[in-house]
Structure 1
Amino acid sequence: MPEKFGAPERAALMVLMLENRKLLNTELKDQVRLAKAGREKLNEAGLIHTDNTVTPMVHEITDEGISWCLSDLVSGDLPPRSTSHARATFGLLKKFVLHHQERGDLVEVFRSRDLESLIRSVYEDLAVEPQDWIRLARIRPRLNGADKGEVDVALVKMMKTGTVHFAPESNTKVLTAEDHAAALRVGSEDLHLVAMEES
Protein backbone atom coordinates (compact mmCIF):
# COMPACT_ATOMS: atom_id res chain seq x y z
CA MET A 1 0.00 0.00 0.00
CA PRO A 2 1.58 3.35 -0.99
CA GLU A 3 2.06 6.12 1.55
CA LYS A 4 -1.09 8.17 2.09
CA PHE A 5 -1.35 11.65 0.63
CA GLY A 6 -4.25 14.06 0.48
CA ALA A 7 -6.38 14.64 -2.59
CA PRO A 8 -4.36 17.67 -3.83
CA GLU A 9 -1.06 15.77 -3.63
CA ARG A 10 -2.56 12.71 -5.34
CA ALA A 11 -4.05 14.90 -8.06
CA ALA A 12 -0.76 16.75 -8.59
CA LEU A 13 1.09 13.46 -8.98
CA MET A 14 -1.45 12.20 -11.51
CA VAL A 15 -1.29 15.45 -13.51
CA LEU A 16 2.51 15.36 -13.60
CA MET A 17 2.47 11.70 -14.63
CA LEU A 18 0.00 12.34 -17.44
CA GLU A 19 1.84 15.44 -18.68
CA ASN A 20 5.14 13.51 -18.58
CA ARG A 21 7.26 16.66 -18.79
CA LYS A 22 8.59 19.50 -16.68
CA LEU A 23 5.57 21.57 -15.71
CA LEU A 24 5.61 25.23 -14.73
CA ASN A 25 3.93 25.89 -11.39
CA THR A 26 1.46 28.17 -13.21
CA GLU A 27 0.52 25.27 -15.50
CA LEU A 28 0.05 22.92 -12.57
CA LYS A 29 -2.12 25.50 -10.82
CA ASP A 30 -4.46 25.51 -13.82
CA GLN A 31 -5.34 21.91 -12.97
CA VAL A 32 -4.75 21.46 -9.23
CA ARG A 33 -3.89 23.57 -6.19
CA LEU A 34 -0.78 22.13 -4.54
CA ALA A 35 0.04 23.91 -1.27
CA LYS A 36 3.65 24.49 -0.18
CA ALA A 37 3.38 21.86 2.57
CA GLY A 38 2.09 19.27 0.10
CA ARG A 39 4.78 20.13 -2.45
CA GLU A 40 7.50 19.79 0.18
CA LYS A 41 6.07 16.46 1.33
CA LEU A 42 6.15 15.08 -2.24
CA ASN A 43 9.70 16.31 -2.75
CA GLU A 44 10.87 14.82 0.56
CA ALA A 45 9.31 11.49 -0.44
CA GLY A 46 11.25 11.61 -3.74
CA LEU A 47 8.05 11.49 -5.80
CA ILE A 48 8.58 14.80 -7.57
CA HIS A 49 11.49 17.16 -8.13
CA THR A 50 10.78 20.86 -7.84
CA ASP A 51 13.25 23.42 -9.15
CA ASN A 52 12.55 26.51 -7.08
CA THR A 53 15.65 28.36 -8.32
CA VAL A 54 13.57 29.65 -11.26
CA THR A 55 10.39 31.70 -11.43
CA PRO A 56 7.86 30.25 -11.79
CA MET A 57 9.15 27.08 -10.18
CA VAL A 58 9.14 23.90 -12.24
CA HIS A 59 7.89 20.46 -11.19
CA GLU A 60 8.70 17.05 -12.64
CA ILE A 61 7.57 13.62 -11.50
CA THR A 62 10.22 11.02 -10.76
CA ASP A 63 10.10 7.33 -11.67
CA GLU A 64 9.34 6.71 -7.99
CA GLY A 65 6.43 9.12 -8.32
CA ILE A 66 5.06 7.22 -11.29
CA SER A 67 5.38 3.95 -9.38
CA TRP A 68 3.50 5.53 -6.45
CA CYS A 69 0.68 6.66 -8.75
CA LEU A 70 0.35 3.22 -10.25
CA SER A 71 0.28 1.57 -6.82
CA ASP A 72 -2.33 4.10 -5.76
CA LEU A 73 -4.46 3.26 -8.79
CA VAL A 74 -4.38 -0.42 -7.82
CA SER A 75 -4.71 -0.22 -4.04
CA GLY A 76 -5.72 3.36 -3.22
CA ASP A 77 -9.18 4.39 -2.10
CA LEU A 78 -11.57 6.25 -4.34
CA PRO A 79 -12.43 9.76 -3.15
CA PRO A 80 -15.59 9.92 -1.00
CA ARG A 81 -18.88 10.27 -2.89
CA SER A 82 -17.37 9.11 -6.20
CA THR A 83 -19.88 8.72 -9.00
CA SER A 84 -20.64 5.37 -10.63
CA HIS A 85 -18.79 6.59 -13.74
CA ALA A 86 -15.71 7.43 -11.66
CA ARG A 87 -15.82 3.97 -10.02
CA ALA A 88 -16.08 2.28 -13.42
CA THR A 89 -13.21 4.36 -14.83
CA PHE A 90 -11.11 3.58 -11.77
CA GLY A 91 -11.81 -0.14 -12.28
CA LEU A 92 -10.71 0.09 -15.91
CA LEU A 93 -7.50 1.88 -14.96
CA LYS A 94 -6.80 -0.79 -12.35
CA LYS A 95 -7.05 -3.50 -15.03
CA PHE A 96 -4.73 -1.51 -17.31
CA VAL A 97 -2.15 -1.06 -14.55
CA LEU A 98 -2.24 -4.72 -13.49
CA HIS A 99 -1.85 -5.87 -17.11
CA HIS A 100 1.27 -3.75 -17.66
CA GLN A 101 2.55 -4.63 -14.20
CA GLU A 102 2.61 -8.28 -15.28
CA ARG A 103 4.49 -7.30 -18.45
CA GLY A 104 7.02 -5.26 -16.47
CA ASP A 105 6.69 -2.15 -18.64
CA LEU A 106 4.57 0.14 -16.46
CA VAL A 107 6.99 3.07 -16.12
CA GLU A 108 7.88 2.87 -19.82
CA VAL A 109 4.20 3.17 -20.76
CA PHE A 110 3.89 6.46 -18.91
CA ARG A 111 7.34 7.73 -19.85
CA SER A 112 6.72 7.18 -23.56
CA ARG A 113 6.09 10.28 -25.63
CA ASP A 114 5.28 10.89 -29.23
CA LEU A 115 8.49 11.18 -31.21
CA GLU A 116 8.15 14.84 -32.18
CA SER A 117 7.63 15.86 -28.55
CA LEU A 118 10.62 13.76 -27.50
CA ILE A 119 12.85 15.33 -30.19
CA ARG A 120 11.81 18.81 -29.12
CA SER A 121 12.35 17.97 -25.45
CA VAL A 122 15.86 16.64 -26.13
CA TYR A 123 16.64 19.72 -28.22
CA GLU A 124 15.49 22.02 -25.40
CA ASP A 125 17.67 20.15 -22.91
CA LEU A 126 20.74 20.58 -25.14
CA ALA A 127 20.17 24.14 -26.36
CA VAL A 128 21.97 26.90 -24.46
CA GLU A 129 19.83 29.67 -25.94
CA PRO A 130 16.69 29.90 -28.10
CA GLN A 131 17.21 28.69 -31.70
CA ASP A 132 20.64 27.33 -30.84
CA TRP A 133 22.14 25.12 -33.58
CA ILE A 134 22.47 21.57 -32.21
CA ARG A 135 24.10 18.62 -33.94
CA LEU A 136 21.70 15.82 -34.84
CA ALA A 137 24.47 13.47 -33.67
CA ARG A 138 23.82 14.72 -30.12
CA ILE A 139 20.05 14.33 -30.39
CA ARG A 140 19.60 10.91 -32.00
CA PRO A 141 21.24 8.86 -29.18
CA ARG A 142 18.72 10.28 -26.69
CA LEU A 143 15.57 9.21 -28.55
CA ASN A 144 14.98 5.92 -26.70
CA GLY A 145 16.35 3.80 -29.53
CA ALA A 146 13.94 5.13 -32.16
CA ASP A 147 14.68 3.89 -35.68
CA LYS A 148 16.63 6.36 -37.86
CA GLY A 149 14.04 6.21 -40.64
CA GLU A 150 11.22 6.89 -38.19
CA VAL A 151 13.16 9.84 -36.75
CA ASP A 152 13.87 11.18 -40.25
CA VAL A 153 10.14 11.16 -41.07
CA ALA A 154 9.42 13.06 -37.85
CA LEU A 155 12.20 15.58 -38.56
CA VAL A 156 10.94 16.28 -42.09
CA LYS A 157 7.42 16.72 -40.73
CA MET A 158 8.76 19.17 -38.15
CA MET A 159 10.69 21.06 -40.83
CA LYS A 160 7.47 21.58 -42.80
CA THR A 161 5.99 23.54 -39.88
CA GLY A 162 8.46 26.33 -40.61
CA THR A 163 9.54 26.48 -36.96
CA VAL A 164 12.25 23.84 -37.16
CA HIS A 165 15.30 24.58 -39.32
CA PHE A 166 18.11 22.37 -40.59
CA ALA A 167 21.52 23.19 -42.06
CA PRO A 168 24.63 21.39 -43.22
CA GLU A 169 27.86 21.85 -41.27
CA SER A 170 29.83 24.33 -43.39
CA ASN A 171 33.17 23.15 -42.02
CA THR A 172 33.16 19.56 -43.21
CA LYS A 173 36.56 18.94 -41.57
CA VAL A 174 34.92 18.91 -38.12
CA LEU A 175 32.36 16.25 -39.06
CA THR A 176 32.76 12.94 -37.26
CA ALA A 177 31.54 9.50 -38.27
CA GLU A 178 28.65 10.07 -35.85
CA ASP A 179 27.76 13.34 -37.63
CA HIS A 180 27.68 11.60 -41.00
CA ALA A 181 25.55 8.73 -39.65
CA ALA A 182 23.12 11.11 -37.92
CA ALA A 183 22.68 13.51 -40.85
CA LEU A 184 19.22 14.09 -42.28
CA ARG A 185 19.29 13.58 -46.04
CA VAL A 186 17.03 16.01 -47.89
CA GLY A 187 17.34 15.84 -51.67
CA SER A 188 21.05 15.58 -52.37
CA GLU A 189 22.11 17.40 -49.19
CA ASP A 190 23.11 16.07 -45.78
CA LEU A 191 21.91 18.25 -42.91
CA HIS A 192 23.79 17.97 -39.65
CA LEU A 193 22.39 20.82 -37.53
CA VAL A 194 18.95 21.71 -36.22
CA ALA A 195 17.52 24.87 -34.66
CA MET A 196 14.02 25.10 -33.24
CA GLU A 197 11.87 28.11 -32.53
CA GLU A 198 10.06 28.10 -29.21
CA SER A 199 6.77 26.24 -29.34
Structure 2
Amino acid sequence: MTSPANVPHLTPNQINALVVLMVEARRVTNVELRELAGFTLTGQDNKKLVDLGLVDTDRTHRPFAHELTDEGWRVARQLHTAAPPKQGGSTTRSLFVVLSNLHRSLDRLRVSHGDFFKHTEATAPAPTAATMTAPKAATTAATAAAPAAAAAPAGAEVEALVRSAYRDLATAPGDWVGLADVRDRLTDTDRAALDAALRAMVGRDDVRIIPVANTKSLTARDRAAAVRIGNEDNHALAIGPA
Protein backbone atom coordinates (compact mmCIF):
# COMPACT_ATOMS: atom_id res chain seq x y z
CA MET A 1 0.00 0.00 0.00
CA THR A 2 1.43 3.39 -0.95
CA SER A 3 0.84 6.66 0.79
CA PRO A 4 -1.72 8.75 -1.13
CA ALA A 5 -0.80 12.25 -2.19
CA ASN A 6 -3.37 13.84 0.07
CA VAL A 7 -1.93 12.29 3.26
CA PRO A 8 1.32 13.96 4.36
CA HIS A 9 4.36 11.99 5.47
CA LEU A 10 4.28 11.90 9.26
CA THR A 11 6.44 10.44 12.01
CA PRO A 12 5.06 7.75 14.34
CA ASN A 13 4.64 10.33 17.13
CA GLN A 14 2.76 12.69 14.82
CA ILE A 15 0.48 9.85 13.70
CA ASN A 16 -0.10 8.77 17.29
CA ALA A 17 -1.03 12.35 18.21
CA LEU A 18 -3.57 12.59 15.37
CA VAL A 19 -5.15 9.29 16.32
CA VAL A 20 -5.44 10.15 20.03
CA LEU A 21 -6.94 13.57 19.22
CA MET A 22 -9.39 11.92 16.83
CA VAL A 23 -10.46 9.33 19.39
CA GLU A 24 -10.85 11.96 22.13
CA ALA A 25 -12.64 14.35 19.71
CA ARG A 26 -11.92 17.34 21.95
CA ARG A 27 -9.15 19.70 23.07
CA VAL A 28 -6.52 17.66 24.95
CA THR A 29 -3.71 19.06 27.10
CA ASN A 30 -0.18 17.70 27.15
CA VAL A 31 -0.80 16.43 30.67
CA GLU A 32 -3.79 14.43 29.41
CA LEU A 33 -1.83 13.17 26.41
CA ARG A 34 0.86 11.82 28.72
CA GLU A 35 -1.75 10.12 30.92
CA LEU A 36 -3.66 8.70 27.94
CA ALA A 37 -0.88 7.70 25.58
CA GLY A 38 2.46 8.18 27.36
CA PHE A 39 3.73 11.13 25.32
CA THR A 40 3.27 14.88 24.88
CA LEU A 41 2.94 16.86 21.66
CA THR A 42 5.86 19.31 21.72
CA GLY A 43 8.84 20.47 19.68
CA GLN A 44 9.12 19.60 16.00
CA ASP A 45 6.22 17.14 16.11
CA ASN A 46 3.89 19.86 17.31
CA LYS A 47 5.34 22.46 14.94
CA LYS A 48 4.89 20.26 11.88
CA LEU A 49 1.28 19.35 12.69
CA VAL A 50 0.45 23.01 13.29
CA ASP A 51 2.30 24.14 10.14
CA LEU A 52 0.40 21.54 8.10
CA GLY A 53 -2.86 22.86 9.50
CA LEU A 54 -3.73 19.53 11.11
CA VAL A 55 -3.68 20.58 14.77
CA ASP A 56 -4.66 23.77 16.56
CA THR A 57 -2.48 24.31 19.64
CA ASP A 58 -3.52 26.72 22.37
CA ARG A 59 -0.30 28.24 23.75
CA THR A 60 -1.97 30.95 25.84
CA HIS A 61 -1.39 28.97 29.02
CA ARG A 62 0.30 25.81 30.23
CA PRO A 63 -0.09 22.98 29.75
CA PHE A 64 -0.50 23.54 26.02
CA ALA A 65 -3.72 22.06 24.62
CA HIS A 66 -4.29 20.54 21.18
CA GLU A 67 -7.29 19.82 18.98
CA LEU A 68 -7.73 18.52 15.44
CA THR A 69 -8.62 21.04 12.77
CA ASP A 70 -11.02 20.15 9.95
CA GLU A 71 -7.97 19.23 7.85
CA GLY A 72 -6.65 17.17 10.76
CA TRP A 73 -9.91 15.21 10.84
CA ARG A 74 -9.63 14.59 7.11
CA VAL A 75 -6.07 13.28 7.37
CA ALA A 76 -6.88 11.17 10.45
CA ARG A 77 -9.77 9.58 8.57
CA GLN A 78 -7.51 8.83 5.60
CA LEU A 79 -4.59 7.33 7.53
CA HIS A 80 -5.91 3.84 6.80
CA THR A 81 -4.99 4.40 3.12
CA ALA A 82 -1.38 5.32 3.92
CA ALA A 83 1.62 3.06 4.38
CA PRO A 84 2.91 2.89 7.98
CA PRO A 85 6.19 4.80 8.44
CA LYS A 86 9.13 2.45 8.13
CA GLN A 87 10.63 3.66 11.41
CA GLY A 88 7.41 3.02 13.31
CA GLY A 89 8.00 -0.59 14.27
CA SER A 90 5.37 -3.21 15.07
CA THR A 91 3.30 -0.99 17.36
CA THR A 92 2.68 1.62 14.67
CA ARG A 93 2.00 -1.07 12.05
CA SER A 94 -0.55 -2.64 14.37
CA LEU A 95 -2.20 0.76 14.78
CA PHE A 96 -2.65 0.97 11.01
CA VAL A 97 -4.32 -2.44 11.01
CA VAL A 98 -6.77 -1.15 13.62
CA LEU A 99 -7.42 2.03 11.60
CA SER A 100 -8.06 0.04 8.44
CA ASN A 101 -10.56 -2.24 10.17
CA LEU A 102 -12.19 0.72 11.91
CA HIS A 103 -12.69 2.46 8.57
CA ARG A 104 -14.29 -0.63 7.00
CA SER A 105 -16.62 -1.06 9.99
CA LEU A 106 -17.73 2.58 10.03
CA ASP A 107 -18.24 2.53 6.28
CA ARG A 108 -20.40 -0.58 6.61
CA LEU A 109 -22.42 1.02 9.42
CA ARG A 110 -22.66 4.31 7.49
CA VAL A 111 -21.32 6.26 10.46
CA SER A 112 -18.70 8.98 10.13
CA HIS A 113 -15.54 9.02 12.24
CA GLY A 114 -16.54 12.31 13.85
CA ASP A 115 -20.01 11.08 14.74
CA PHE A 116 -18.69 7.78 16.08
CA PHE A 117 -16.13 9.30 18.42
CA LYS A 118 -18.31 12.22 19.53
CA HIS A 119 -21.43 10.11 20.03
CA THR A 120 -20.26 6.61 20.94
CA GLU A 121 -23.32 6.20 23.17
CA ALA A 122 -25.76 6.65 20.30
CA THR A 123 -27.43 3.50 19.01
CA ALA A 124 -29.97 4.74 16.45
CA PRO A 125 -29.19 3.65 12.87
CA ALA A 126 -27.77 6.25 10.53
CA PRO A 127 -30.30 7.76 8.15
CA THR A 128 -30.64 7.55 4.41
CA ALA A 129 -32.42 10.16 2.35
CA ALA A 130 -35.39 7.79 2.18
CA THR A 131 -35.62 7.20 5.95
CA MET A 132 -35.42 10.80 7.12
CA THR A 133 -38.79 11.75 8.58
CA ALA A 134 -40.98 13.68 6.17
CA PRO A 135 -42.51 16.92 7.44
CA LYS A 136 -45.81 16.52 9.25
CA ALA A 137 -48.71 17.14 6.91
CA ALA A 138 -50.84 19.10 9.37
CA THR A 139 -49.40 22.33 10.67
CA THR A 140 -50.93 25.61 11.66
CA ALA A 141 -50.05 28.86 9.99
CA ALA A 142 -48.21 29.84 13.16
CA THR A 143 -45.91 26.80 13.09
CA ALA A 144 -45.50 26.48 9.32
CA ALA A 145 -42.82 29.16 9.36
CA ALA A 146 -40.32 30.10 12.02
CA PRO A 147 -40.73 33.43 13.76
CA ALA A 148 -38.88 36.26 12.10
CA ALA A 149 -35.38 36.55 13.50
CA ALA A 150 -33.26 39.59 14.10
CA ALA A 151 -30.51 40.39 11.64
CA ALA A 152 -27.92 38.84 13.94
CA PRO A 153 -29.78 36.51 16.32
CA ALA A 154 -27.98 35.08 19.33
CA GLY A 155 -26.85 31.48 19.15
CA ALA A 156 -29.21 30.39 21.92
CA GLU A 157 -32.14 31.97 20.07
CA VAL A 158 -31.28 30.17 16.84
CA GLU A 159 -30.85 26.87 18.68
CA ALA A 160 -34.31 27.34 20.17
CA LEU A 161 -35.69 27.87 16.68
CA VAL A 162 -33.96 24.71 15.42
CA ARG A 163 -35.37 22.67 18.30
CA SER A 164 -38.86 24.08 17.70
CA ALA A 165 -38.65 23.27 13.99
CA TYR A 166 -37.43 19.76 14.80
CA ARG A 167 -40.37 19.15 17.14
CA ASP A 168 -42.75 20.19 14.36
CA LEU A 169 -41.07 17.94 11.81
CA ALA A 170 -40.24 14.76 13.77
CA THR A 171 -42.93 12.23 14.57
CA ALA A 172 -41.02 11.14 17.69
CA PRO A 173 -37.88 12.24 19.59
CA GLY A 174 -34.77 10.77 18.00
CA ASP A 175 -36.24 10.50 14.48
CA TRP A 176 -34.00 11.63 11.66
CA VAL A 177 -35.08 14.86 9.98
CA GLY A 178 -33.49 16.32 6.88
CA LEU A 179 -31.72 19.63 7.31
CA ALA A 180 -33.46 20.76 4.13
CA ASP A 181 -36.80 20.54 5.95
CA VAL A 182 -35.38 22.36 8.97
CA ARG A 183 -34.10 25.16 6.75
CA ASP A 184 -37.50 25.45 5.08
CA ARG A 185 -39.01 26.14 8.50
CA LEU A 186 -36.37 28.76 9.25
CA THR A 187 -36.25 30.75 6.03
CA ASP A 188 -36.18 34.03 7.99
CA THR A 189 -33.07 32.97 9.89
CA ASP A 190 -29.67 34.06 8.62
CA ARG A 191 -27.90 31.08 7.04
CA ALA A 192 -24.55 31.77 8.71
CA ALA A 193 -26.22 32.08 12.12
CA LEU A 194 -28.13 28.85 11.53
CA ASP A 195 -25.00 26.98 10.47
CA ALA A 196 -23.16 28.24 13.55
CA ALA A 197 -26.00 27.09 15.79
CA LEU A 198 -26.04 23.64 14.19
CA ARG A 199 -22.28 23.26 14.67
CA ALA A 200 -22.63 24.26 18.31
CA MET A 201 -25.48 21.80 18.82
CA VAL A 202 -23.28 18.86 17.79
CA GLY A 203 -21.71 19.10 21.24
CA ARG A 204 -25.07 18.63 23.00
CA ASP A 205 -25.69 15.19 24.50
CA ASP A 206 -29.15 14.89 22.91
CA VAL A 207 -28.21 16.06 19.39
CA ARG A 208 -26.83 14.17 16.41
CA ILE A 209 -26.04 15.78 13.06
CA ILE A 210 -24.48 13.44 10.54
CA PRO A 211 -23.94 12.87 6.81
CA VAL A 212 -26.14 10.59 4.75
CA ALA A 213 -23.67 7.90 3.70
CA ASN A 214 -25.48 6.94 0.49
CA THR A 215 -24.82 10.22 -1.29
CA LYS A 216 -26.54 8.94 -4.44
CA SER A 217 -29.84 9.10 -2.57
CA LEU A 218 -29.44 12.82 -1.86
CA THR A 219 -31.38 15.37 -3.87
CA ALA A 220 -30.01 18.73 -4.96
CA ARG A 221 -32.16 20.22 -2.19
CA ASP A 222 -30.50 17.95 0.42
CA ARG A 223 -27.04 18.90 -0.80
CA ALA A 224 -27.78 22.63 -0.80
CA ALA A 225 -29.06 22.41 2.79
CA ALA A 226 -26.03 20.54 4.17
CA VAL A 227 -23.95 22.03 6.97
CA ARG A 228 -20.18 21.56 6.93
CA ILE A 229 -18.93 19.98 10.18
CA GLY A 230 -15.62 18.14 10.64
CA ASN A 231 -14.75 18.57 6.95
CA GLU A 232 -17.92 16.73 5.95
CA ASP A 233 -21.28 17.81 4.57
CA ASN A 234 -23.98 16.77 7.06
CA HIS A 235 -27.59 16.32 6.02
CA ALA A 236 -29.63 14.86 8.89
CA LEU A 237 -30.59 15.95 12.40
CA ALA A 238 -31.88 13.93 15.33
CA ILE A 239 -32.70 15.28 18.79
CA GLY A 240 -33.42 12.80 21.55
CA PRO A 241 -35.70 13.15 24.55
CA ALA A 242 -34.95 16.06 26.85
* TM-score, L = length of structure 1: 0.51
Q: Does 1:94 align with 2:100?
A: yes
Tell me the distance in 2 between the aligned counterparts of 1:62 and 1:48. Answer: 5
Tell me the distance in 1 between the aligned counterparts of 2:30 and 2:89. Answer: 29
Instruction: Indicate conservation of the 8 Å contact 2:11/2:88, yes or no.
Output: no
Which of 58, 61, 79 is the aligned partner of 1:72? 79
Secondary structure, in 3 states, of the residue corresponding to 2:56? strand
- 2:90 maps to 82
Aligned AA (2:69)? T
Tell me the distance in 1 between the aligned counterparts of 2:59 and 2:53. Answer: 15
Structure-2 change in CA distance of 1:56 and 1:38 (3 Å):
same
Tell me the distance in 2 between the aligned counterparts of 1:114 and 1:54. Answer: 32
- 1:58 maps to 65
Tell me the distance in 2 between the aligned counterparts of 1:37 and 1:138. Answer: 46
Superposition deviation, residue 27 in structure 1: 0.8
Tell me the distance in 2 between the aligned counterparts of 1:40 and 1:58. Answer: 13
Secondary structure, in 3 states, of the residue corresponding to 2:90? coil
Number of equivalent positions: 130
Superposition deviation, residue 100 in structure 1: 3.9
Instruction: Indicate conservation of the 8 Å contact 2:54/2:72, yes or no.
Output: yes
Give the stretch that moved more between structures: 137-146 or 66-75: 137-146
Q: Percent identity?
A: 27
Tell me the distance in 2 between the aligned counterparts of 1:13 and 1:76. Answer: 15
Secondary structure, in 3 states, of the residue corresponding to 2:101? helix
Superposition deviation, residue 97 in structure 1: 1.1
Superposition deviation, residue 88 in structure 1: 6.5
Which of 19, 28, 34 is the aligned partner of 1:29? 34
Tell me the distance in 1 between the aligned counterparts of 2:47 and 2:161. Answer: 35
Secondary structure, in 3 states, of the residue corresponding to 1:82? helix
Instruction: Indicate conservation of the 8 Å contact 2:106/2:112, yes or no.
Output: yes
Instruction: Indicate conservation of the 8 Å contact 2:25/2:114, yes or no.
Output: no
Structure-2 change in CA distance of 1:20 and 1:139 (3 Å):
farther
- 1:9 maps to 14
Structure-2 change in CA distance of 1:46 and 1:112 (3 Å):
farther
Instruction: Indicate conservation of the 8 Å contact 2:33/2:40, yes or no.
Output: yes
Secondary structure, in 3 states, of the residue corresponding to 1:17? helix
Tell me the distance in 2 between the aligned counterparts of 1:89 and 1:5. Answer: 14
Structure-2 change in CA distance of 1:138 and 1:82 (3 Å):
farther
Tell me the distance in 2 between the aligned counterparts of 1:34 and 1:89. Answer: 18
Structure-2 change in CA distance of 1:88 and 1:55 (3 Å):
closer
Structure-2 change in CA distance of 1:139 and 1:27 (3 Å):
farther
Q: Does 1:19 align with 2:24?
A: yes
Q: Which ranges in structure 2 are unaligned for 5 or more consecutive residues?
A: 123-155, 164-197, 202-206, 209-236
Determine which structure has the larger helix proportion and give its number. Answer: 1
Superposition deviation, residue 51 in structure 1: 1.0
Q: Which ranges in structure 1 are unaligned for 5 or more consecutive residues?
A: 116-133, 153-199
